[in-house]
Amino acid sequence: MAVSRIVVDIAMLDGTEHHGIETTVADQMAYARTRRTHNWDTPQDDPLTFLNFLGYAALRRLGLFPGSWDEFVTAAAAVSEAGQHVVDPTNPAPSNDS
């Protein structure tokens, strides 16, 4: 069974561009916690906030943006879904067995 990771491109107002940023479960969980705390709408009802927050969370996780969510909203020019990266979790892990 293959699963997909959301991939985003992010342009900042200062001209910095981040391409092909893969989001992870950690980014989705950060969104879920923040959504509950702030009583945000669901991703289905507010896909714009969901996608922007995933981009923000991914940049934070990767050490590419040190600021807060509010600072990201002020500093970001655009976040767009660049596609999905299909991951096959059923591929066996490399083994030392010969």
pLDDT digits (tens, 9 = 90+) for 75-97: 999 999 987 766 766 665 555 65
DSSP conformational letter for 65: -
Along the chain (98 residues), what's the average pLDDT of each consecutive run of 10 residues? 84 97 95 96 95 97 97 98 74 57
CB within 8 Å of 12: residues ≥ 6 apart: 18, 75, 76, 77
> 23 to each of 14, 39, 72, how far by Cα in Å?
22, 22, 16
